[in-house]
Amino acid sequence: MSSPLEARYHRQRVPLLWWARRRSYATFMLRELSSVFVALFVVELLLLVRAVARGPAAYQGFLDAMANPAVIAVNVVALAFVLLHAVTFANLTPRAMVVRLRGRTVPARLILAGVYAGWLVVTVFLLWLVVG
């Protein structure tokens, strides 16, 4: 243990790119960076709502903009990050939430199965709502 005075004047220097040195740190950073693409896609969704509010011509304009190859490329990357977010967040659930049923702890695998089943239901519902 160092004294408060020592702690104040002695600072360990951490390299700026500390997270690039180990695979596990880099994975952690990628997972955290997924938030950028979550935010980006929410903005895209709000642009869709705005286009629909403005009328059929604006909606067509939105579809054309989304079909731009550069925008598709960005959205493919966004998809990869959004999936990374979804998988890492789902896998966290059994650790964040301990479910007890009739005095017994429900196994983590069962909770995980429930999470993925719920995800499937939401996905199919949204597909039906938008396209069906």
Q: Footprint of other proteins on this chain (CB under 8 A)?
A: 14, 16, 19, 29, 32-33, 35-36, 38-39, 41-46, 48-50, 52-54, 56, 59, 63, 66-67, 71-72, 75-76, 78-79, 82-83, 85-86, 89-90, 96, 118-119, 122-123, 126-127, 129-131
Query: Smallest gap, in angstroms, from Cβ of residue 68 to other proteins?
Result: 8
Nearer to other proteins, 90 or 102 (CB): 90
CB of 124 to other proteins, least distance (A): 9
Rounded to whole angstroms, the Cα distance separating 94 from 76 reads 29
Closer residue to other proteins in complex, CB, 72/98: 72
Neighbouring residues of 58: CB distance < 8 A, sequence distance ≥ 6: 50, 51, 52
Unique residue bearing structure tokens 């979550």: 38
Residues of 68-92 as b/e, b for ≥16 C-beta within 10 angstroms? eeeeeeebeebeebbebbeeeeeee
